[in-house]
Amino acid sequence: WNLAALAQALLPVLHTDQEQGVALAQEAVDSFPDQFLEAHAAGMAAKLGLGQLQGDDSALVEDLLHLLAQERCDFTLAFRRLADLADPGSDAGKIGELFDFAPAFEPWLARWRQRLAVETTSCAQRQAAMYRASPVFIPRNHLVEEALQAAVGEGDLAPFNQLVEILARPFAYDPALARFAMPPRPEQVVHQTFCGT
């Protein structure tokens, strides 16, 4: 629906002839699923430290996503932690105090490490690329809500400004800012959000 609505809004820009505009829009909408799957595969390959998905890599991705959901893991922190593990000799940017994989992940991690062994990039290069694909700070609803409440309710823009400053550098982990990386505690869960947030 969203793509169709966007295409409808863009018709006057696509072509002066409405029929040709509709044909161009339909062509773009029809090509979206393949483009999305290709972009998703490239994004997952980057998050897993793989040059590109090949062979049985789709199962590796799906198994990880299933495990993350089953174990109720925070996906953002899990992918960032995976990047930490890509170079065992590095201490930079490690978030082990925020998240670590449960024992249920050990068989998957062993498969992942086996797959990484056939990659040609160095551990350090791989880790740097994975860090670029896996932010540690994202605009979490509870933090956005906290900043909005302070700004609207108290006229205090400091929490908003701090959040904006942190989100401007989403990949640079600073342990002093750990609370901005964490998912909400049960009492912090925002149950209703709005498109503007």
The pLDDT tens digits of the residues spanning 158-192 come to: 999 999 999 999 999 999 999 999 999 888 888 77
Which residue range is the domain that position 156 belongs to? 141-188
In a domain, 49, yes or no: no
Categorize the per-residue pLDDT at 196 as very low, low, confident or very high, splitting at 50, 70 and 90.
Answer: low
> For the purposes of burial, counting CB atoms within 10 Å of the CB of 181, is it exposed (0-12), middle (13-18) or buried (19 or more)?
buried
Looking at the fold, whether 163 and 99 belong to one and the same domain comes out as no
H helix intervals, the chain = 2-14, 18-48, 57-70, 75-85, 106-116, 123-133, 141-148, 154, 158-167
Q: What DSSP element (H or E) covers 167?
A: helix 158-167
In a domain, 107, yes or no: yes
What pTM was estimated for this model as a whole? 0.85
Looking at the fold, whether 63 and 125 belong to one and the same domain comes out as yes
Looking at the fold, whether 35 and 98 belong to one and the same domain comes out as no
Looking at the fold, whether 118 and 155 belong to one and the same domain comes out as no
Looking at the fold, whether 69 and 125 belong to one and the same domain comes out as yes
Contact 131, 123 (CB under 8 A): no
Looking at the fold, whether 129 and 62 belong to one and the same domain comes out as yes
Looking at the fold, whether 60 and 126 belong to one and the same domain comes out as yes
Domain count for the chain, please give it: 3
Looking at the fold, whether 121 and 58 belong to one and the same domain comes out as yes
pLDDT of residue 93: 66
Residue 197 has pLDDT above 60, yes or no: no
